[in-house]
Amino acid sequence: MDEQTRQDLKQRLASAAGHIKGIERMVDQDAYCIDIIRQIRAVQAALDKISTRILDNHLHTCVISAIRDDDPQQREAVLREITSVFEMAHKR
Protein backbone atom coordinates (compact mmCIF):
# COMPACT_ATOMS: atom_id res chain seq x y z
CA MET A 1 0.00 0.00 0.00
CA ASP A 2 1.47 3.35 -0.93
CA GLU A 3 1.80 6.11 1.66
CA GLN A 4 -0.91 8.33 0.16
CA THR A 5 -3.45 5.48 0.25
CA ARG A 6 -2.42 4.60 3.80
CA GLN A 7 -2.85 8.21 4.96
CA ASP A 8 -6.24 8.50 3.23
CA LEU A 9 -7.43 5.29 4.88
CA LYS A 10 -6.18 6.39 8.29
CA GLN A 11 -8.04 9.68 7.91
CA ARG A 12 -11.24 7.91 6.88
CA LEU A 13 -10.93 5.48 9.79
CA ALA A 14 -10.36 8.32 12.25
CA SER A 15 -13.46 10.04 10.90
CA ALA A 16 -15.52 6.85 11.28
CA ALA A 17 -14.20 6.41 14.83
CA GLY A 18 -15.26 9.97 15.63
CA HIS A 19 -18.73 9.26 14.30
CA ILE A 20 -18.95 6.13 16.44
CA LYS A 21 -18.06 8.19 19.52
CA GLY A 22 -20.84 10.57 18.48
CA ILE A 23 -23.28 7.66 18.27
CA GLU A 24 -22.19 6.61 21.76
CA ARG A 25 -23.01 10.10 23.04
CA MET A 26 -26.38 9.98 21.29
CA VAL A 27 -27.20 6.71 23.07
CA ASP A 28 -26.07 8.17 26.41
CA GLN A 29 -28.27 11.22 25.80
CA ASP A 30 -31.23 9.04 24.82
CA ALA A 31 -31.42 10.61 21.35
CA TYR A 32 -34.25 9.78 18.98
CA CYS A 33 -33.80 6.17 17.80
CA ILE A 34 -34.13 6.94 14.10
CA ASP A 35 -31.44 9.60 14.37
CA ILE A 36 -29.12 7.04 15.96
CA ILE A 37 -29.90 4.53 13.23
CA ARG A 38 -29.20 7.14 10.55
CA GLN A 39 -25.79 7.81 12.09
CA ILE A 40 -25.04 4.09 12.30
CA ARG A 41 -25.96 3.70 8.62
CA ALA A 42 -23.64 6.59 7.75
CA VAL A 43 -20.75 4.90 9.59
CA GLN A 44 -21.51 1.61 7.85
CA ALA A 45 -21.44 3.37 4.48
CA ALA A 46 -18.11 4.99 5.37
CA LEU A 47 -16.67 1.62 6.40
CA ASP A 48 -17.93 0.09 3.15
CA LYS A 49 -16.06 2.78 1.21
CA ILE A 50 -12.91 2.07 3.22
CA SER A 51 -13.28 -1.65 2.57
CA THR A 52 -13.75 -1.02 -1.15
CA ARG A 53 -10.64 1.15 -1.25
CA ILE A 54 -8.59 -1.54 0.51
CA LEU A 55 -9.96 -4.24 -1.82
CA ASP A 56 -9.07 -2.10 -4.85
CA ASN A 57 -5.54 -1.71 -3.52
CA HIS A 58 -5.31 -5.45 -2.86
CA LEU A 59 -6.46 -6.29 -6.39
CA HIS A 60 -3.94 -3.91 -7.92
CA THR A 61 -1.01 -5.11 -5.82
CA CYS A 62 -1.23 -8.51 -4.16
CA VAL A 63 -3.56 -10.16 -6.66
CA ILE A 64 -1.66 -8.92 -9.70
CA SER A 65 1.59 -10.17 -8.14
CA ALA A 66 0.03 -13.57 -7.44
CA ILE A 67 -1.35 -13.87 -10.96
CA ARG A 68 2.09 -13.09 -12.41
CA ASP A 69 3.71 -15.62 -10.07
CA ASP A 70 4.68 -19.01 -11.48
CA ASP A 71 3.22 -20.81 -8.46
CA PRO A 72 -0.38 -21.92 -9.21
CA GLN A 73 -0.97 -22.62 -5.50
CA GLN A 74 -0.18 -18.99 -4.70
CA ARG A 75 -2.68 -17.81 -7.32
CA GLU A 76 -5.37 -20.11 -5.95
CA ALA A 77 -4.69 -19.04 -2.36
CA VAL A 78 -5.19 -15.36 -3.23
CA LEU A 79 -8.41 -16.11 -5.10
CA ARG A 80 -9.72 -18.20 -2.18
CA GLU A 81 -8.99 -15.32 0.20
CA ILE A 82 -11.09 -12.94 -1.85
CA THR A 83 -13.91 -15.46 -2.19
CA SER A 84 -13.90 -16.14 1.56
CA VAL A 85 -14.24 -12.44 2.37
CA PHE A 86 -17.34 -12.18 0.20
CA GLU A 87 -18.77 -15.42 1.58
CA MET A 88 -18.47 -14.02 5.11
CA ALA A 89 -20.16 -10.79 4.03
CA HIS A 90 -23.14 -12.67 2.62
CA LYS A 91 -23.59 -14.71 5.80
CA ARG A 92 -24.47 -11.56 7.76
Reported pTM: 0.82
Residue range(s) defining the domain that contains residue 81: 3-91
- CATH label of the domain that carries residue 50: 1.20.58.1000
Q: Are 48 and 13 in contact (CB under 8 A)?
A: no
Query: What's the domain count of the chain?
Result: 1
Residue 55 in this model has a pLDDT that exceeds 90: yes
- What is the DSSP-derived secondary structure letter of residue 31? -
Question: How far apart are the C-alpha atoms of 25 and 55, rounded to whole Å?
Answer: 32
Residues 6 or more apart from 23 whose CB is under 8 A from it? 36, 39, 40, 43
pLDDT digits (tens, 9 = 90+) for 80-89: 998 998 887 7
